[in-house]
Amino acid sequence: MAPKRVLKVGLDSAAPFPMHSDYNSEKFEGFEVDLLSEIAKHLDFEIHYEVSLWKTILEKLFKGELDLICSAVTVTSSRKHILEFTEPYLHFRLCAVVPAEGALDELKDFKNKTIGVRTATEAERHVHTKFPDNNMFHADTNKELYRKLQAGKIDMLVDDSPIAGGFLQNNSKLKIGMFLPNTDSHYAIAMKKGDLELRKQFNTGLKMLRENGIYDAIYAKWFSEIQF
């Protein structure tokens, strides 16, 4: 029997739960972990995870040192120029997270606020573009970002709504102040440019999971209490 093909999969070391937890924690789990496990089972692949900073795994994939990234990768037109993407597996928006007692009703409320973002993310790019006059705080990890907000060091943070929802599940001191207009986005699995056969195989796997109900079951397991 031929050995299974091993796929090297990049993971963000600043785990974006509930997409996935910290790989080195006691329990490695999450929406993307379940999704990838089911696709790998269907395609008869073996998954080997490699964990690095977000900006590092993007570089590694571009250089061909990884086969794919399944770690809350937002599909963008600029990334499509240098990477291949599967069909999307999750729709979301950007949101602004504020202290629970804070008010945030419209975009003009952002004026003179210090905004926290994660480095090398679409949230960072969006804030740079839409709020160029605001003070910004850049963090490499989600934990640092949310800790700064809770400690009152920044006024708000901008994040992907599923990740914000995951953080806020166990944190009554913070809340989503608003979903940012015109920020509808999608996560998909990213692959090396030109890896069309692998992309085709994964799209077939994703389609099968949607048709047989497994996708819906995984979605309900991880997002039943998260609004995005």
Q: What is the pLDDT of residues 12-57, one digit of tens each?
A: 998 889 999 999 999 999 999 999 999 999 999 999 999 998 889 9
What confidence category does residue 106 fall into, taking pLDDT thresholds of 50, 70 and 90?
confident
Rounded CA separation 144/146 (Å): 6
Predicted pLDDT at 228: 79
Predicted pLDDT at 55: 83
Rounded CA separation 125/31 (Å): 25
Cα distance between the two ends of the chain:
45
Give me 27's structure tokens.
């329990």
pLDDT of 159 over the 70 cut: yes
Kindly state the average pLDDT of the residues 173-193: 96
pLDDT of 103 over the 90 cut: no
Rounded CA separation 65/60 (Å): 5
pLDDT of 145 over the 90 cut: yes
Angle between helix 161-168 and helix 142-150 axes, rounded to 10 deg: 60
pTM, 2 dp: 0.92
Sign of the torsion formed by the C-alpha atoms of 3, 86, 226 and 124: positive
Kindly state the average pLDDT of the residues 197-218: 97
Predicted pLDDT at 88: 98
Rounded CA separation 111/134 (Å): 7
Residues of the chain with pLDDT > 90: what percent? 84
Which of 8, 20, 19 minimizes the C-alpha distance to 49? 8
Which of 9, 173, 1 minimizes the C-alpha distance to 98? 173
